[in-house]
Amino acid sequence: MSAFEPESVPTLKPMFRFQWEPAQDCHVLLYPEGMVRLSGSAGEILKRVDGERSVSAIIAELKAAFAGADLDADVIAFLEQARENGWITV
Footprint of other proteins (CB under 8 A): 14-15, 17, 19, 21, 23-24, 28, 30-37, 86
Of 14 and 40, which has the nearer Cβ to other proteins? 14
Q: How far is the CB of 22 from other proteins (least distance, A)?
A: 9
User: How far is it, in rounded angstroms, from Cα 42 to Cα 28?
Assistant: 10
Helix 55-65 crosses helix 72-84 at what angle (to 10 degrees)? 130
Look up residue 49 and give its DSSP letter. -
Q: How far is the CB of 30 from other proteins (least distance, A)?
A: 4
Q: How far is the CB of 52 from other proteins (least distance, A)?
A: 20
SS3 10: coil
The candidate with the shortest Cα–Cα distance to 38, out of 15, 16, 70, is 16
Of 8 and 54, which has the nearer Cβ to other proteins? 8
